Amino acid sequence: MRQHGFSLIELVVTMVVLVSVTTIAIPAFQTSIGNAQIRTVAESIHSGLQQARMEAIKRNARVKFTLQTNSGWQIGCVTPTTSCPTTITQKSATEGASSNTTVAADNSTAVFSGFGTRDPATPVGLSVVNITNLQVKAEERRSLRVLLAAGGNVRVCDPSVSAAGDPRAC
């Protein structure tokens, strides 16, 4: 009678191959996850700024975007009324980010006028937000930057790209 199954040698070879592949793959996954967290936070802030601008145009009122600690943000009217509340919407810092993601901004608030531009009555406001993840090795990290122009346009760029004409460059 012939027995079916695996021999001890086949199991050991399989385990060695599995451990080798896992040892190589885990650091690559950690880098990918860290860079994805950077992208998620950058896109969230970008979307929040765009939404604040659109709310200002829609309501024809001054609307404020406030960047909170750890990448959370809130949108609300500067002068609350029945049609323009103090808090229109907000995003929690825990959604899509980790404690390793660092957000550094030149200011925590941006005010948009009813025309969708940065409010000229607010001379100092948010214009640059840098996002990084220190868990990822510097040579593999894809830090991103969110820029807010005076005209109200918002864009995400990569500060490490320096090629002239490249749309990813800051």
**This prediction's pTM:** 0.82
Low-confidence ranges of the chain (pLDDT < 50): none
The answer to whether 114 touches 84, Cβ cutoff 8 Å, is: no
Domain assignment of residue 133, given as a range: 8-157
Q: How many structural domains are present in the chain?
A: 1
Summarised one tens digit per residue, pLDDT across range 40-81 is: 999 999 999 999 999 999 999 999 999 987 778 999 999 998
Strand partners, 111: 64
Spatial strand order of the sheet with 101-105 comes to 101-105, 128-133, 144-148, 154-157
Q: Does residue 125 form part of some domain?
A: yes
Tokens for 164, please give them. Answer: 């002239």
What is the reported pLDDT for 45? 93
Residue 68, domain CATH: 3.55.40.10
Q: What pLDDT does residue 122 have?
A: 83
Tell me which residue of 165, 140, 168, 162 sits closest to 42, measured CA to CA.
168
pLDDT computed for residue 149 by the predictor = 92
* 151 within some domain: yes
Instruction: Give residue 23's pLDDT.
Output: 83
Question: Which residue type sits at 132?
Answer: T
